[in-house]
Amino acid sequence: MHSHPHARARRWAVRATALLTAMMAFVVTWAGAASAHGSLVDPASRHYGCWARWGSDFQNPAMAQQDPMCWQAWQTDTNAMWNWNGLYRMNLGGNFQAGVPNGQLCSGGHAESGRYNAMDVPGAWKATTVRNTFTVKLWDQANHGADYLLVYVTRPGFDPTRQALTWSDLQLLTKTGKYAPAPYYSVNLSTSGRTGRAVVYMIWQASHMDQTFFMCSDVTFTT
């Protein structure tokens, strides 16, 4: 026996409402997860900088000439920039060199199934001008806190426009102590006699669980 058209319409309406509710729940859950972490914002990490400069205009073809490394990153995976606060790895137990191979430091060892791989590509990334004494600022959106921050700078002679980053390219500037949960953490740093291009590399060991964030920020040292 065939059902009445009005009954079928009501059933379809109920199904459509259930589907819409499920989709909205997914979007809310995704948005909550996406806003739950953070990144180095000054000097801007590669993924945060691309979002900050182009998030409202990411389809503009002028980016290809004005900011070519961000252009290749947006073309590779737009989600890397929308999720600029999610470049992390879980449960590394502090053994970062084992979990993040050479050449993959800026993507956190191909974190999130390779979402951030474009960050590893050498090239003319936009660089922040800093002096030999400078401050870095981390934005912790979810107030995770930090067990510690490790901040490195590339050795003199390293050319980020031509070389993918390896562990042997890094010099440790500081390992901080613990940070209580807060929106921002700042670290004062000092180098000596540096000029030209370099990469500042930060590892943020969050306090709420064994969750580790990896960030490459391009800088140009000036006297």
d(CA 94, CA 138): 20
Q: What's the pLDDT at 4?
A: 57
Domain 37-221 fold: Coagulation Factor XIII; Chain A, domain 1 (2.70.50)
* Mean pLDDT (10-residue bins), the chain, 223 residues: 52 43 34 62 97 96 97 97 96 95 98 97 98 97 94 97 98 97 96 96 95 97 91
- List the chain domain ranges: 1-34, 37-221
Q: What's the pLDDT at 27?
A: 35
d(CA 20, CA 26): 10
Which among 69, 68, 111, 70 has a CA at the least distance from the CA of 88? Answer: 111
CB contact at 8 A, 217 and 128: yes
How buried is 16 (Cβ within 10 angstroms: 0-12 exposed, 13-18 middle, 19+ buried)? exposed
The amino acid present at 222, given as its one-letter code, is T
Q: How far is CA 57 from the centre of its chain?
A: 19
How buried is 36 (Cβ within 10 angstroms: 0-12 exposed, 13-18 middle, 19+ buried)? middle
